[in-house]
Amino acid sequence: MGIATTLRVTGIGKFMLTQRTTSRDQDLMSALKNHTAGRLDDAAAIYQQLYSANRRDSDVIFLMGVLCSDLGLFDSACQFLDEALAITPVFPQARAQYAAALNGMADAAFCAGKLTEARRTLDRALEFAPND
């Protein structure tokens, strides 16, 4: 993250401001407020705008993954979270959210009677959160 980036996600709904606030930070703060208030369409629109402006912003990509998880779109969530982790490999919140999305995928597979797939997905989730 560069000096101009002053908002760092420390967890959904939690963030840390340092130095000056940029328009990106203000937009991200607005998106987070919408997201945590349940206005997911509004949050998604802002996340998409921010993502279009910078496709390497791991905070935005992470939050898009969180939003997809919240909507039950676990495949999409994993794609975004994988992308965020490729950009910022040491991102504990993204790793934890990835494990949660994989758990959601495993639950869906289990409910569909796909027990082998559910087991494989849970094993993969343990790679991201071995202590959970």
Q: Quick one: pLDDT at residue 19? A: 57
Interaxial angle between packed helices 40-53 and 23-36, expressed in degrees from 0 to 180 and rounded to the nearest 10:
150
Q: Quick one: pLDDT at residue 63? A: 97
Task: Judge contact between 97 and 68, C-beta under 8 A.
Answer: no
Q: Quick one: pLDDT at residue 9? A: 61
Q: For residues 116-128, give the mean pLDDT.
A: 93
Q: Using DSSP, state whether 84 is helix, strand or coil.
A: helix
Helices (H), 9-91: 23-36, 40-53, 58-70, 74-87
In tens, the pLDDT along 2-36 reads 333 344 565 555 555 555 678 999 999 999 999 99
Q: For residues 66-78, give the mean pLDDT.
A: 97
List of residues 6+ apart from 50 with CB closer than 8 A: 24, 27, 28, 31, 57, 60
Reduced DSSP (H G I as helix, E B as strand, rest coil) percent helix, strand, coil of the chain, to 5: 65, 5, 25
Entry pTM: 0.81
Residues forming beta bridges with residue 15, ordered by sequence position: 9
| Confidence bin at 129 (pLDDT 50/70/90) | confident
CA 42 to chain centre: 16
| Confidence bin at 132 (pLDDT 50/70/90) | low
